[in-house]
Structures are given as C-alpha cells and as structure tokens.
Structure 1
C-alpha cells in the first residue's frame, strides 16, 4: 500500500500488534492448532486478544543473556518481535527510511504432537515500510502466516534467521554480527547488509524492562543501536544504492502494559557523535504518564546509562491529522533529557515527512523517520500508538 502526499515542508513494546494477530486469525476462520483446513475452535477463546498468560513464562527477574543464542526465538514466552528501523541515503543525498518487523505470537503454551506439518501453536506477522523522503511517498505492506510448513519461523542453525515467506533477516556469519534483510513489496523492496558495531544494549534492569508496577508486566529487551547499513532500495522500477545506519529492537515477554495504558511514544535516536538514545513514554487514560518506562543512553564506546522516567520530558509540538484514519498525531517534539551531565540534552525531533502511518493491518499506528537538532544532531525513528485506537483492553 502507498500513502502519497505533498507538503510544503519536509516520526516497545509492540505487543498490541502481536495481540491483534489473534483476532485476525478468528476473522480468517481457521485454527492453527489443527490441520490446514480445520475450523476455528468453538467458544472463540481466541477473541481475547490479550491471551491467557497461564502456562507461559513471565518476565519477572533479569535474564541470563547469551548471544548469539538470544538473537533467536523464546517460545516459552507468549509474544516476541524482531524490529529493524533505519535511515539511508544515496551518494547524492536522497534519503529513505525503512521499517522491517517480524512478530511471533503463541496462541497456546504447547502444541499436540502430530504428523501434520500444518499443526502449530505459533503465528507470525510482518510489517514492512519504506519512506521515500524526496518524493514524500510512504509504502507499507503486512503479512500474516502460521509458523508451520516452513512458511515462517526463527532459527539459529546453521545461522540466525527469522523469516516470513520470502521476507526475512539472515545471519551471514555464525555470530550474526553481519546480517541481511531482504523484503519485496508490490512497488518497493529492500536488500540490505547490516554490520553490528556495538554490543547489545540491555534496557531496564539488565534487560528486564518494566512497563507498570504489576509483577510480570514487563519484557526482556535489548537493542543493537548502530548497525552500519549498505545495500539497495527499490521504488517502482528505480533501484538506489544506499548507505546509512539501522537499529534493532528485540523483545519477548508474556504481558507488558498496565490496565490504564492508552498508548506509547517511542524514539530510537542515533546521534552524529556516535551515541544513541532510546526514550519513550506510556500515555495513560487519565492523561498522565506511566512512571515505570524510561530510556537508555548508549555511549560511543558501547557503555550505557539507564534513564528513569523522571529524567525525560517529551513535549509534543504541532499536529498532523491522518487522511487515512482521521487520527491526530504530534508533528514534532521537544525533549529535555537528564543524562547525568552538567547540562541536559535538549533536542528538537521532527518527522522527515508527515504521512508515515501504517493503516492497513487492523490497528493503525505511526512509525517514521525523524531528524534531530539541538544539543545533538542526527536521525532516528519514532513510533506512536494509541492515537487512532486506544490500546486499553486490547491485550
């Protein structure tokens, strides 16, 4: 799908999308647990997009991280995603942004043994988007399949690989420090090689990222915050050679947000001085902010500083109303971040184009390329949820 508009001026928890898989499966009218043609089970248990957490592992204490093993799947948890975003440019300076995400969702804690290659308790969904900044065009597509018959999955042998049909991320060496993303939509495509330059950055308490004060409302969360990227972007019949930097988020857990959550604003920012910053806020139904989700500063040498929620002030600037959903999103942000130095980071974050809303996957959200000015300069990505649809009661 293409969102196209012309403007006079030039956006972590992503459990809602994985939860929305369950409702989609019911609409499609088939059971992944049964055979290929089995009907949806009576009682419509799957209509509960939150899913029953009983029988799944919960994120309650710090994880014993082992890489590259933890680049792979964690099926004992209900939900997982591998999230890649990045900013790219040609030698001439033509800019592109991209998002490539694969979600895994378990619909039961276990699957019965069977000879059928179609039987599974796992479903996979992928979102793929490219922002063509010069022409102010936004391309996006989504796919949903069962995790069976080699249609989708996540493996570590012979190398790291996460895929959905012919879209995927593949490790090019055993350590998965060099990876490749390949995806092709109707009018757009990516073929990129990504090189890891820093160790995994662990969010929260050694990777345990709390989302509310309720025990277990958390995820295990790490990021690869600067992946040197090169390859090709295709728009229509034109192919562009590009370089730039990408960011990977990988999270897994069984539940995340509190009952009073409305949505969230997430930012992955890459500074020209070699640092990166993840900040976010969970917006509550009463207009407040959840005090349990903060941020992380990644220094040029890979060392990190955890940022509590009260160290982060994010103020929305202006607004943009989607012609697709009617939702109104912020048109930019000012940020003041206490990073432990004499003066705080003061940033202005502006979308590289306004229309970067994904609106064809059942739940609409905004995910797009942004530019950074102020105490630091650079580029990044922003994700905004709960503006078109409240997340409350969705999972």
Structure 2
C-alpha cells in the first residue's frame, strides 16, 4: 500500500472506525470482513485542518526519524522480505504498522481509555512450496498500552506484534508476529544506510501543495530468524526492505490506486518504483522511484525514466477483482529490463481494505544475468465490487 510507496494507505484505519469500534473491546476478527470502501475514497475525504503537511524538504535525523512523528495524521512502518531455509524452501513475509492520529495535538484525558490515535497492523506469510498465503489484521487504540510507538530505541507494537530496535550501528530491529499456527520471529540488520525518496525525502504524489509525504527506506536489510507455517518452524535467512512514510494529505480525486514494487537485485542494486494510476487508466506524472547502487549511493527516478508493462492478469476466486500478475520493468538509463513474476498468484489480503501484496521473483529479459527477488503491492483493483454507500 508499500508500499507503502504506501503513500497514504494508513488512512484506511479511519474506515475501521466507521465499520465499528471493536477497537474499544480489543477484539481481533477471526476472519477479516470484505472491504466496505475503496482506498481512494477512504483517503480522499478527511480534512487536513490543523495537521502538519509535507510541503517542503526537511532535515532527516537518524535514528530519531525511525520513531513516530506527532502532528501528522498518517504514519507507517512497512517491512517486507524474501527468505529461505537451508534446503531452499522459500517464504515471503509482510509486517506493517499503521498509525492514524484522530486530532493534530494530544488532549489531556481523565480516562485511561482515552486515545488520540488508532492503530492497524497487517501480518502475512507466503509459503511458496506449500502453495499457501496466510494473512491477518489487528485493530486497536493507543489507550491502555494496547498499541503505540516510541523512539530511541524504537519500539512499535500492536498487542504482541512488535518491531523493536536491538542495535544502533548498524541499525537492527527484531520483528515478531503471531497468526495462530503461523508467524514470524526475525532480526533485520541494515546493510545500506537510509535512502531519501523523492526530492530529499519529500515524495510528491500530485500537483496540489501538501499532497505529499516524507518518505525514506532502508532498502537492504540482512534477515535471519524463524517462520512458522502450519505449526512447523523453519530457520530462515534472506533480505528485507523497510519503508517509512508520514503525511497528512490524501490522494487526488482522479487517482484510483498504485502499483508499487521494491526489488533486491543480485548485482547488489536495489530498486523502488511506484506507478500511480489515474481513473482513466493512464499513469500519473507524479509516479516515481529510486535506484540504489551496491555502495549505497542512490538517485531519484522520474516517471518518464521507467516503463512498467502488465504482461498477464490474475482474477481473484473471491470475485470482483482482477490484478496484474506479471510485469516487464524497463529503465533504459540503468540497463534494466526485468521480468517480474509473483511467487504465488494468490497473495490477496482481505483486510479493512482489499488489496494484493506479495513476494515476487525477478528475472532478466536481456540475458545479462540480472535476477533477484522483491515485493509488489497493488491497490485500487478490488474496488469495482465495493458499494458506494
């Protein structure tokens, strides 16, 4: 969402308030309900009055900026990665935390139940050999210590799902998430420094002032630990990607969704690119990306620098949604011509908002030996079956 690259996907937490505050009772739904609203509608309606907005480049400071940013409405910590055990059994995972402020500034409350923020987290595991995709969603509020975030050292949590900083140099974090008979317990260590996406970390999503986010990534994080799938524990290692964004503004009315991808290439480069889709099917000129060299240096990619072509489609068996399911990505100035293939066709999440996010394999179209792995997120494709009421 991301991806999320997620842009303003954290705003979907506001839908949860409309769907019903099971948040107050701290109840997790055993089966997530189908989406009631589209991402674009959810992100387009709330007023930004009183909240800070991403209007101009800012000075980033690490590790402070790994922590929360008060005054902005939306913020997220987005972890994805591809892993394998010693026998080569492959897994993909996603753990994301979304924070939405209900008001620009904290309000003193007498009750411990009082909250100024609501939280959502998504956990997903792709078991490639088992041909199974599992996912779960949790919703809560900051009150009573149920959810929250703090910096130095960083801790982000929603109940027992957590991201906890375990080392400062190089920066490392431990992720834990339990979905019943499946889950993750992973340690991620940054191999490259932070990358500022957009214009010095100001990532514009359209022409309207303030329609932007502050956006950075830790594009390559060595990962080790365990995953559980179907009650079996696997010792795994691989690479992860962290996306961090905070903002207030919503998507423009003519934007339907996005295709976001983050790729680890075997020549040491890392690549993020997102295509913002207009409702007429064309690519929004605010689409952009970042290419990161093996030494950690990076440069911005404008929309015109890349071409993302859909090669095939996958229709959800649940009906009402048809997603791209294979892509050709070309960036001529970087010598990149890639075939991107989902590790499983069905990596669709039925959470508060319906979307597709999953592990992909990367192959070269030029015979130069470039290959790799990554994650793709697709939003706005499941909205055609969503009621406008």
| TM-score by shorter chain over 0.5 | yes
CA RMSD, Structure 1 to Structure 2 (Å)? 2.3
Contact 1:262–1:390 (CA<8 Å) still a contact in 2? Answer: no
Q: Does 1:72 align with 2:67?
A: yes
Distance 1:17 1:210 in 2: 15
Aligned to 2:253: 259
Contact 1:160–1:174 (CA<8 Å) still a contact in 2? Answer: no
Matches within 5 A, 1:271-350: 271-338=265-332, 340-341=333-334, 344-350=335-341
What TM-score results when the alignment is normalised by the length of structure 1? 0.88
Structure 1, 175-184 or 191-200: larger mean CA deviation: 175-184
Structure 1 residue 18 displacement after superposition: 2.4
Structure 1, 218-227 or 168-177: larger mean CA deviation: 168-177
Distance 1:362 1:277 in 2: 29
Contact 1:51–1:107 (CA<8 Å) still a contact in 2? Answer: no
- Cα distance per residue 1:148-167 (max 9 Å; x no partner): 2111111014x111110000
Aligned to 2:35: none
Q: Unmatched 5+ residue regions in structure 1?
A: 1-10, 37-46
SS of the aligned residue for 1:319 comes to strand
- Cα distance per residue 1:113-154 (max 9 Å; x no partner): 123222121011000000000011000000000012111111
SS of the aligned residue for 2:103 comes to coil
Equivalent residue pairs, number: 367
Query: Of the candidates 118, 124, 131, which is equivalent to residue 123 of structure 1?
Result: 118
Distance 2:180 2:236 in 1: 20
Distance 1:324 1:148 in 2: 36
Structure 1 residue 102 displacement after superposition: 0.2
Distance 1:30 1:116 in 2: 18
Structure 1 residue 351 displacement after superposition: 0.3
Aligned to 2:156: 162
Contact 1:153–1:163 (CA<8 Å) still a contact in 2? Answer: yes
Matches within 5 A, 1:42-53: 50-53=45-48
Matches within 5 A, 1:5-84: 12-14=4-6, 17-29=9-21, 50-84=45-79
Structure 1 residue 51 displacement after superposition: 1.9
Q: Does 1:372 align with 2:367?
A: no
Query: Of the candidates 89, 105, 117, which is equivalent to residue 84 of structure 2?
Result: 89
Distance 2:385 2:202 in 1: 22
Query: Of the candidates 160, 169, 177, which is equivalent to residue 183 of structure 1?
Result: 177
Structure 1 residue 256 displacement after superposition: 4.2
Structure 1 residue 292 displacement after superposition: 1.2
What TM-score results when the alignment is normalised by the length of structure 2? 0.90
Change (3 A) 1:22 1:220: same
Aligned to 1:5: none
Distance 1:76 1:174 in 2: 26
Q: Unmatched 5+ residue regions in structure 2?
A: 27-40
Aligned to 1:43: none
Change (3 A) 1:30 1:112: farther
Q: Does 1:356 align with 2:361?
A: no
Q: Does 1:108 align with 2:100?
A: no
Contact 1:13–1:256 (CA<8 Å) still a contact in 2? Answer: no
Contact 1:207–1:220 (CA<8 Å) still a contact in 2? Answer: yes
Distance 2:374 2:98 in 1: 21
